[in-house]
Amino acid sequence: MRNKNTKNPVCFRRWTRKNYAVFNSLGRQIKIGVLSTSLSLVTLSAQQVSAQDTTAQAVAREHETPAVPIEEIVVTGDKTLSIAEPARVVAVITRIDIERAAVQNIQDLLRYVDGVDVRTRGSNNVQADVSFRGGTFDQTVVLLNGVNITDPQTGHHSLNIPVNLEDVQRIEVLQGPGAWTMGAVTYSGAINIITKLENQTGVSAGAIGGMHNYQSYSAAGNVAAKGLRATVSANKSKSDGYTDNTDFDVDNVYAQLRYATPKSGGLSGQFGYQNKDFGAHSFYGADYPYQHEHTRTFLSSLRYDIEKGNWGAALTLHHRQHQDQYDLYHINPPSWYTGHNYHRTDIAGALAQLTRSGKLGTTTAGFSYRYEHIYSNTLGETMQTPIAVKGENDIFYTREKAREHYSASLQHAFHVQKFHATLGVMGAGNNDFGFRAYAGGNVAYDLAPAWQLSAAASNDYRLPTFTDLYYNVGKQKGNINLKPEEAVTGELGLRYREQTWRASATGFYRYGYNIINWLLNTSDSIWYAQNITNVATSGVNLQAEYAPQGQVLKKIAIGYTYLHATPSEQAETKSYIIEQLSHRLTATLQHGIWRQLAASWQVLSQQRAGGYDPFWLCDLKIYWEAKRYNIFTEATNLFNATHSDFGYIPQPGRWVKAGITVKIN
């Protein structure tokens, strides 16, 4: 049933060089059936619009045109920021992919994206490290609706996001550097999680149960009125764990709203809270099997945007607080153990953007400010007056550190006949590390209606985390003299997209210098944070997909990634870089069984450098999908394979779950 407030959509079948930024001021839904593959999500970003995925039937209709297609999208004026850039390959996990995947959280969903390395310490959204192209987890930028929420304490916490998988509309994955106009420099890659706002008022609820006493309960409500859309959701998941000290209890609460009128622009807000309490079995050392961790995350952002003719402007204010209690010994501590680690990090910032679109292309100027602060009893500089840790008796923060980042960027995207290009420059400063300038460019050429050749080059950086600088506990010692990591990256790509077929081949080379890593000193068995002289990393990613969206065969896809890293001689006993994925193969099969009953298979095979055994994993989801409800059962690690991505942390075997979701509109 159509919402009475929703007007009939205006349909365009082709994307041309006309300025369609006026879409956002029409107050109507705009369907774009075919887009140039080089512009796709990027042009939408430059004009400050957002894309929402449609149903499988709409995607199938999009394939009726003989032009080069991508998934049909609906431009609704949400102003969600995209990380995509012209002539760059951005993998998009659509809402349909999310619903069909045999996963219940974001970290497990990312595991099957080609080229993404997800190293899981704790399963089911407990903790995972995400990296790209042989980089480290600290070199990945994580954004939520365009807001940079990357944790400055350590990349281990960057995926602590208070969003249920049901809240996610799509996830954009950018491999390699970019996203400058977002106020963030991505060293090796970026993830942008985009949440959904429904067009109809309604409620939904779901429940999941499974092995190891797994339980998950969720509820959501949304309101759609003239000019206003809002949603609020809550989720609780818990389990006794698949082995000793792997139990977890996770709570998420998330709210989002947007109010917009054609004349006055739009105001958007998001607010989230997450509470995690989990056993951290051998997370940071096999000698300590009874580690434990408790984290809390609070985040909020407010964004105003407006468009007048060819001009667009937006201002975003944001804040994120993360609290972390880490117990090296949760039970039976030895006499020398003096107590747990307590940290509280705060991020506050602003991002301003000004865009102009015209015959010569789209120019975007970005200005950002980001303030980072940490209270801790182990990280930072000694405080003159300690402050109490909230909720704890006689526990105090004794150290703190603050730093400020600021940047200005200018990016221009244009295309002339078969050529598409983006050129950008950025100046970035920090009160501890000074000022640096960066530049990059992406170009693409349409070889034929379905073929496109692309190239990109840039230089980029990554600042040390507070853990890199100050951690000095046990057998690890930070280094306050660390320098920022820097790199020069180049890539070449070839893409083919024609109706139901898609394929791509991408090769890259990155030369990194002053790379931060933890090196083992064999004389005292201590890991020290140091700037490795250089690391050269190269790789190839191959992908192919056939997606007819039929009743029997819905989609079949395969991807392969090869990586090779050559570190400097002094890095022979390093911690992370030699453990990059050497070979990685992913495969997906989605097919119908009977009527609305369907199945989704996902296969992963990988071989990691550093002495790890290769392994195969297979996940299966069988689901019955109706308009008002969805019933499913899934099995992760279907064949019960023994595997580990960290040498001393066992990963779960076969884990079967089943659930139901009901929607009322």
- In the three-class reduction of DSSP (H, G, I as helix; E, B as strand; rest coil), residue 54 is classed as coil
Phi and psi angles of residue 109, each rounded to the nearest 5 degrees, phi first: -65, -40
Domain assignment present for residue 3? The answer is: no
259 token code pair: 């109010």
239 token code pair: 């389990």
Domain span at 78: 10-664
- Do you know the residue count of the chain? 665
Q: Edge to edge, what strands does the sheet with 189-195 contain?
A: 90-93, 168-175, 189-195, 140-144, 147-148
Contact predicate 60/549, CB 8 Å: yes
- In the three-class reduction of DSSP (H, G, I as helix; E, B as strand; rest coil), residue 662 is classed as strand
Domain assignment present for residue 542? The answer is: yes
User: b vs e for 210-232, b when ≥16 Cβ sit within 10 Å of the residue's Cβ?
Assistant: bbbebbbebbbbbebeeeebbbb
Which residues, 6 or more positions from 471, have their beta carbon under 8 angstroms from its beta carbon?
378, 379, 477, 478, 529
Contact predicate 30/54, CB 8 Å: no
Band of pLDDT at residue 500, cut at 50, 70 and 90: very high
Count of domains for the chain: 1
Instruction: Give the pLDDT mean for 65-89.
Output: 44
Q: Which percentage of the chain shows pLDDT scores above 90?
A: 63
The answer to whether residue 330 scores a pLDDT higher than 80 is yes
Contact predicate 600/96, CB 8 Å: no
Domain assignment present for residue 483? The answer is: yes
Extended beta strands in 157-227, E state: 168-175, 189-195, 202-210, 214-225
> Longest Cα pair distance anywhere in the chain, in angstroms?
74
Phi and psi angles of residue 100, each rounded to the nearest 5 degrees, phi first: -90, -20
Mean per-residue pLDDT over the chain, rounded: 84
CA dihedral 475, 481, 482, 488 (to 10 degrees): -160
Top pLDDT among 473 and 32 is at 473
Top pLDDT among 517 and 87 is at 517
Domain assignment present for residue 433? The answer is: yes
| The predicted structure's pLDDT at residue 115 | 82
- In the chain, the amino acid numbered 338 is T
Which residues, 6 or more positions from 263, have their beta carbon under 8 angstroms from its beta carbon?
none
Contacts 24+ apart (CB under 8 A), 55-62: 55/96, 56/96, 56/549, 56/554, 57/549, 59/96, 59/547, 59/549, 60/548, 60/549, 60/550, 61/33, 62/33, 62/34
| The predicted structure's pLDDT at residue 645 | 83
344 token code pair: 């509280």
Number of helical H runs and strand E runs in the chain: 5, 36
Instruction: Kindly report which listed range (118-132, 463-477, 568-582, 621-635) carries the lowest average pLDDT score.
Output: 568-582
Domain assignment present for residue 5? The answer is: no
| The predicted structure's pLDDT at residue 64 | 35
Domain assignment present for residue 243? The answer is: yes
pLDDT digits (tens, 9 = 90+) for 302-328: 999 999 999 999 999 999 999 999 999
665 forms bridges with which residues in the sheet? none
Q: Tell me the pTM.
A: 0.86
pLDDT digits (tens, 9 = 90+) for 590-621: 999 999 999 999 999 999 988 888 999 999 99
Domain assignment present for residue 1? The answer is: no
Band of pLDDT at residue 71, cut at 50, 70 and 90: very low
Instruction: Give the pLDDT mean for 440-453.
Output: 93
The answer to whether residue 589 scores a pLDDT higher than 70 is yes
Instruction: Give the pLDDT mean for 80-87.
Output: 58
Band of pLDDT at residue 579, cut at 50, 70 and 90: confident
For residue 106, the Cα-to-chain-centroid distance in whole angstroms is 8
Instruction: Kindly report which listed range (383-392, 395-404, 530-539) carries the lowest average pLDDT score.
Output: 530-539
Write the CATH number for 479.
2.40.170.20
pLDDT digits (tens, 9 = 90+) for 243-284: 999 999 999 999 999 999 989 999 999 999 999 999 998 888
Domain assignment present for residue 2? The answer is: no
| The predicted structure's pLDDT at residue 575 | 57
- Distance in angstroms (rounded) separating the CA atoms of residues 401 and 7: 52
The answer to whether residue 349 scores a pLDDT higher than 90 is yes
Instruction: Give the pLDDT mean for 184-210.
Output: 91
56 token code pair: 């499988």
Instruction: Give the pLDDT mean for 398-424.
Output: 93
The answer to whether residue 61 scores a pLDDT higher than 50 is no
One-character DSSP codes across 305-324: EEEETTEEEEEEEEEEEEEE
